[in-house]
Amino acid sequence: MYPGGDEDRLAVNVHENLKPPTESGKSYLVRGSYTYYHYGCDGVSDEGWGCGYRTCQTLCSWVRGQQSGQHAPPVPSIRDIQDVLVRLGDKPPHFAGSRDWIGSVEVCLVLDQLYAVPCRILHSPHGTLGQQAGALAAHFRDRGSPVMMGGDLDCSSKGVLGAHVSGDHTYLLVVDPHFSGRAGAAAELVSAGWVKWQRLSQFQDSSFYNLCLPQLGGRE
């Protein structure tokens, strides 16, 4: 599992200094704490291939917080995630130790296997992401769990930590795992664009998207 002590050095709740994208409208945000995992945060050089694993780790860290009194397993390392997928038969043996990518479906399998958390896959075919605005806002309103987002042409994994609805426009709160280095203050990540609000219309119409929605949490 994740090397002992390393997790304590990582930034947490990095969206907290981010203002809503508009003065009007309503924001629905993740409820509970999470740790921000990103390229190289544990000494593993995964630039160019590890973004899905890092988003998976961020989701796992949130689940652990929700299950704190239930002896939840530690956040898995990249190799741990690969081993889980091999054991489940989702990947061949040579996947373990490789630099092969993972997406939202694999993250669903890992969360279910390690933490017994079922997930919903929200599939958005090419050019239809805008039609998911209501479903995503409802997820954060009702569940408050972080979301893994991945696609085909837009193949960069993203953590989605909230939705903001203002009139006809919906924005997603994106926490980008592609940052490499030592994450400092959350405000610095925000100012550099690693944590940002992005309007649904700014995502690629030419790409499909799969979103992994953990079915854990509920209205307070």
> Does the active-site annotation cover 123?
no
What DSSP string describes 10-65? Answer: S-B-TTTTPPPSSSSSEEEE--S--B---BTTTS---TTT-HHHHHHHHHHHHHHH
164 included as an active-site residue = no
8 Å CB contact between 82 and 97: yes
Contact 180, 38 (CB under 8 A): yes
**Choice among 42, 108, 176, 212 that is catalytic:** 176
Candidates 41, 51, 119, 212; catalytic one: 51
Q: Hey, what are 68's tokens?
A: 């704190």
**Active-site option among 100, 112, 169, 178:** 178
51 counts as catalytic: yes
Helices (H), the chain: 51-66, 78-87, 104-115, 133-142, 186-191
Looking at residue 91, the DSSP 8-state letter turns out to be S
Which residues are known catalytic residues? 51, 176, 178
